[in-house]
Structure 1
Amino acid sequence: MSNLKVHVLRLTPGQEVVGELEKYVSAQVPRGAFIMTCCGSVTSATLRLAADTNGVTNKIVKLSGHFEVLSLSGTISREGTHLHISLGDHQGAALGGHVMGDLTVFTTMEVVLGEALDVTLGRAFDNRTGYDELTITKDEREAAGTIN
């Protein structure tokens, strides 16, 4: 069981989402955070798409236009960020992938972050995957309720 603290943010037109979330987490959420929910709209996004049938994972698309954020999920720590997003266009078509950056707010971005108070999230290179992967460090003293 984990104790949870909730952080609610609103980003405004023109802000770059990943940079703003990383800045906030670095200053306010030293243990790292995870996205609980998000809604808003963007005018641009750079995404890495899912692997194709040959396992190739490096196709990157740059989107420009007006998109509704259908979902945003992932983790943010001082060591790195891992976010996935689903976007909807003006015809209702959806596209999603791994957020590479350039995620710029159109009208608003409402983000609710969760902070687990008895663990620290980080990232470390994993030889098996070739990527920096999530690390979870449990703070036994805090979990036992001895740190205020």
Structure 2
Amino acid sequence: ASAGSAFRVHAVRLGPGQELLGSLQAFVEERNLRAPFIVTCVGSVTKATLRLAHTTAGNTNEVIHLDEHFEIVSLVGTLNKDAHLHICLADKEGKTVGGHVMGGLEVFTTAEVVIGEATELLFERHMDHSTGFHELVIQSRSKKD
């Protein structure tokens, strides 16, 4: 599925100790954003909970809990109610780890996040039995929304 839309830009800066995912979801809910997505993010975290990539052979769902200082080198995804975000973090040696954001992203110094909203679309997630996951469903907004 695909659709085009104009978009609006929002920006938020989170501070030390704030939880990134929950704070972004609260921001989206407070502003009633209907089709939000991450444009860019820079910052640092001291903790993270990530689900690692699935393998076709084992279809593993390994979840890791990280507890050290990391720079956020990438954050991408959609921020509707059931957010789907992937993150890449770099440690003090520049080694990276990434995966599906499960939560527990505790901001160290700052997280500067630019959020886009497709103003003519609505993002929802529905179960896709072919993948076994709730996948993005893109809808056009009606003029009355």
Q: What does residue 64 of structure 1 align with?
A: 67
**Partner residue, 1:109:** 111
Unaligned runs of 5+ in 1: none
User: How is 1:37-76 mapped onto 2 (pairs within 5 angstroms)?
Assistant: 37-52=40-55, 54-76=57-79
Deviation track 1:91-123 (CA, whole Å, cap 9, x = no partner) reads 010010001110110000000000011001111
Residue in structure 1 matching 2:94, options 89, 92, 95: 92
Distance in 2, Cα, partners of 1:18 & 1:34 = 12
Asked if residue 33 in structure 1 is aligned to residue 36 in structure 2, the reply is: yes
Q: Kindly report the root-mean-square deviation, in angstroms, between the aligned alpha carbons of the 2 structures.
A: 1.5
Identity %: 49
2:80 and 2:142 mapped to 1: Cα distance? 20
Task: Give, in whole Å, the separation in 2 of the partners of 1:57 and 1:114.
Answer: 32
Aligned to 2:10: 7
Q: What SS class does the counterpart of residue 77 from structure 1 fall into?
A: coil
Given the two structures, how large is their TM-score scaled by the length of structure 1? 0.90
Displacement over 4 Å in runs of 4+:
none
Aligned length: 142
Structure 2 residue matching 1:24: 3-state secondary structure: helix
Distance 1:122 1:64 in 2: 32
TM-score (norm 2): 0.92
Q: Which amino acid aligns with 2:105?
A: L
Deviation at 1:125, TM superposition (A): 1.2
Instruction: Give 1:53 shift.
Output: 5.9
Distance 1:29 1:113 in 2: 13
The CA deviation at 1:137 is 0.9
- Higher mean C-alpha displacement, 100-109 vs 123-132: 123-132
1:133 maps to what in 2? 135
State the alpha-carbon separation in 1 of the partners of residues 104 and 50 from structure 2.
9
Q: Distance in 2 between matches of 1:135 and 1:14?
A: 33
Question: Aligned match of 2:25 in 22, 25, 31?
Answer: 22
- Distance between the aligned counterparts of 2:58 and 2:78, measured in 1? 24
**Conservation of the 8 A alpha-carbon contact between 1:29 and 1:115:** no
What is the rounded CA distance, in whole Å, between the counterparts of 2:54 and 2:41 in structure 1?
25
Aligned counterpart for 1:123 among listed residues 121, 125, 131:
125
